[in-house]
Structure 1
Amino acid sequence: MWSETFEALSNYEKGEFRRLANYLLSHTYLVRDVYKPDKQWTEPNGDYRMINRLFECMRDYFYVSGWRLEKDDNYGVISLINEYDHNRLRMDRFTTLFLYTCRLIYEEGREQGDNLHIVRTDTSSIVEKMRTLGLLNKGKTTQKERLEAQRTLSHFNIIQKTETTAWSAEGNGVLIFTSILSIIPNQGINDMMIELEELRTDDADTDAEIEAEEQEDLE
């Protein structure tokens, strides 16, 4: 029983158990290696090591309440998944497309990535990729959309900025973590591409309808 294992932990470990359990419930993903902007290097994540120590107890604890705790030591990602498909975040359209674009950039850059499987890019490159793919409404995006998308994906440890300052509307250096593979695995890329094509088609149809309506008004 997880409770017996928990009671055998030290007071410090019990405190870390509680803290990290709440962290996972809020952030869903935790990665093994994190970038330190002030030092400009990547180093092991102490929280990942602690969960690794407590993993069996935490896994059994979450299992009782309908959650599945998974750990991929190959890519260095810990994930918390709800078995009942509850408590899911519904991202807005732009954030979803921003995420999809990051996944494409990750796929393209993973061969050139470092040995920690982290891919470097920046906000401008992501937005330009979205524009090239025809994912932006009339080729434009707002500062608010970019900020919201980056903050959301950062909260769930999918991306991280490389600067010590806050996320900027003008853009940031961006690290894409391996956690993005948990959201959109390799076998899910084809489904993602089909969905992107459907979204582009829907946008084109909407633009055509608007233009037709404007033409009728002119007549």
Structure 2
Amino acid sequence: MSFEWFGTATQKELDRFKAVCNQLLSRTYVVRTVYQPGVGRVNNPDYVFLSAHFEAIQEYLAFLDWDLRKDDLNGYFYVLNTDEANRCNLNKKETAILLAIRMLYEENLERLGLAQDAVCSVRDLLEKVVTDYAILPAKPNMDDVKRALTVLDNHSVIQRIEGKYNQGSCRFAILPTVLSAVSSEKLNAIVSVLRKEEESEEAEEDSTD
């Protein structure tokens, strides 16, 4: 690794370097634009910094067994652990909600244009989970919904715009990072497994009646 940049960087740049690396390791993604209350979508200074110092940050993270990647088309950076460690494990309901979010994004993909992110409400999401996509047989309780959406927000897959995640009226943006969080191939495979599990559980319940 070349340390030339570190020798010429200002203290302000070094502080930003540390903040960006910590953000990547804790949140997985850094997106091109973010929402600010009362302002709307604005350019993310951390994304600008990553773009300017990509190679230095990539080399540094490689020493920690993290591979820094970028998606220029959709506007985000993300990291993968080369030892496949430090994975975020989701339970069944959290997985179902993530899949529904991915499918919602897919539905809106054609009309997104340069905006890159889709906005929906918690109520819309739950309707998709249970009725339209039939990933879960019944609506999860709002505590489970809040827990799942908070995890996804913490990892920059979604971003809350207004309201609280345990309210049906809460609005949030689905960020383009969801495309790498759940690939099309993985989406179809997991939905199939979840539906088979639900059918099996329903069959077992019928047999015990």
Q: Given the two structures, how large is their TM-score scaled by the length of structure 1? A: 0.89
The amino acid of 2:111's aligned partner reads: Q
In structure 1, the residue matched to 2:144 is 145
Instruction: Please list the CA deviations of residues 99-155 of structure 1 after superposition, one character each: whole Å capped at 9, or x if unmatched.
Output: 111111111101111412111111111110111222224x22101111011111111
Instruction: Please list the CA deviations of residues 8-66 of structure 1 after superposition, one character each: whole Å capped at 9, or x if unmatched.
Output: 21111111111111111100011001112322x21101111112222111000011221
In the TM superposition, what are the counterparts of 1:195-206 in structure 2 within 5 Å? 195-206=190-201
Change (3 A) 1:65 1:191: closer
Q: Which runs of 5+ in 2 are unaligned?
A: none
In structure 2, the residue matched to 1:51 is 50
The amino acid of 1:180's aligned partner reads: V
In structure 2, the residue matched to 1:136 is 136
Give the RMSD, CA atoms, in angstroms. 1.5
Q: Given the two structures, how large is their TM-score scaled by the length of structure 2? A: 0.93
In structure 2, the residue matched to 1:63 is 62
1:90 aligns with 2:89: yes
1:166 positional shift: 4.2
Poorly superposed stretches of 4+, deviation over 3 Å: 165-171
What's the % identity of the aligned pairs? Answer: 26
Change (3 A) 1:204 1:175: same
1:210 aligns with 2:209: no
**How many pairs does the alignment contain?**
208
Instruction: Determine helix, strand or coil for the equivalent of 2:114.
Output: coil
- Choose 1 or 2 for highest CA Rg: 1
The amino acid of 1:170's aligned partner reads: G
Q: Which runs of 5+ in 1 are unaligned?
A: none
The amino acid of 2:53's aligned partner reads: L
